[in-house]
Amino acid sequence: MIPPGASLGLLGGGQLGRMFAMAAQSMGYRVTVLDPGPDSPAGTVADRHLKGEYLDDDRLRELAATCAGATTEFENVPAESLRYLARHCVVSPAAESVAVAQDRIAEKTFLHDNGFPVAPFRVVRSLADFDAPEAAALVPGILKVSRFGYDGKGQARVRSVEEARAAWTALGGEPCVLEQWLPLARELSVVVARGFDGTVATFPVAENHHQHGILDVTIVPARVPDALAAQARGNAVALAERLDYRGVLCVEFFVLDDRRLLVNEIAPRPHNSGHYTIDACVTSQFEQQVRVLAGLPLGDTALHCPVVMVNILGEAWLHAGGEPDWSVVLGNPCAKLHLYGKREARAGRKMGHYTVLASSTGEALAQALHIREQLRPLAQPAQPIPSAPLD
């Protein structure tokens, strides 16, 4: 066990790292952040900020020499950095687990080969790969770059093989995955934690709604049948065990119109859709990340009450012509505001989030959407959020 008072290292300086640092500090740990940015969200709250690249030998040696354990807040940290640190201190998650999740080709192949249901897909490395009959069977579909794609970036909807060829060229001719488009009834996610002793704990299933590829609203508990929620949690646990994963992992699912459950993708870290756990669960996903890294028993994941989380994007600043009127959030006694300390607001940039807690999901959703409309009155939902639960 790594006791409070010790230093924990963090690779990455974004908002997930910021919330990890705050959770660790509240438990008595010191946090050192390694990140190249001069004023990153995590770096500004950490006890120490090592400014440098993730493969900087000197910075890695310093982190390893001063921290009892190290973790990461995003999946694109070089696996070699984690391997180096693992030779000197406790590391969670392991480089091998991160390497699978940070590459869509490796991820899809791992899921398929281990029997987890996924959308039909094909690996694309050249224009010639579109000539195969299997490629034609996958359109309409979605072409996704294998690495560094997130929040709708690095992907394109395609309706024909010709569109897929053009999209592949526009994406820079990088290795991609072509996935068949399937009619969706819901999108779900499950945050699961697995300790070094093999114990596991899952958080309540979240129901997610996106706009333009970016998570907009998360509803918890997900409005799906109990059997489907149990299946999602069971698949998340099985996936963590098959990966021999140690840490906090998010598994995203598609629920098809015929109620089949498919694994969409995995994230080897806390997840945007798990931010509700800060206010609505006995243990947050970030405290759980600390607990795994420090070798502590996993915390209780019970939900206090129904909750809805809404992302706050840079559009709120653009519509307000400056700082938004936060009284629309803070004036609600059941709403909790979380801002990430980012200095520049840009369209599509995650600047913060808020949660609304209530006695029912319907009440929490109504209040959350009312606040959202006040914060960004010109932004209309691309698709309305269903008011009824999935039967």
| Among candidate residues 61, 59, 85, the one with its CA nearest the CA of residue 72 | 85
Residue 380 in this model has a pLDDT that exceeds 60: no
Q: Which domains does the chain have, with CATH numbers?
A: 7-91 (3.40.50.20), 120-180 (3.30.1490.20), 184-375 (3.30.470.20)
Counting residues of the chain whose pLDDT is more than 70, the rounded percentage is 97
- Cβ neighbourhood burial of 37 (10 Å; 0-12, 13-18, 19+): middle
Q: What is the per-residue pLDDT across 113-142, written as a single tens digit (0 to 9) for each?
A: 999 999 999 999 999 999 888 889 999 999
User: Which pLDDT band holds residue 147 (cuts at 50, 70, 90)?
Assistant: confident
With beta carbons less than 8 A apart as the criterion, state whether 267 and 249 touch. Answer: yes
Cα–Cα distance measured from residue 228 to residue 56, given in angstroms and rounded to the nearest whole number: 45
pLDDT at 383 over 90: no
Which pLDDT tens digit goes with each residue over 250-285? 999 999 999 999 999 999 999 999 999 999 999 999
**Which of 148, 2, 5, 147 is CA-nearest to residue 70?**
2
* 5-9, 19-23, 209-213, 298-302: least confident range: 209-213
Q: Is the dihedral of CA 266, 267, 270, 276 positive or negative?
A: negative
Give the pLDDT mean for 74-103. 92
Q: Which residue has the tokens 């990340």?
A: 289
pLDDT at 180: 96
**Cα–Cα separations (whole angstroms), residue 178 to 148, 175, 236:** 16, 10, 24
Q: What is the pLDDT of residues 70-79, one digit of tens each?
A: 999 988 889 8
Give the pLDDT confidence score for residue 213 in this predicted structure: 86
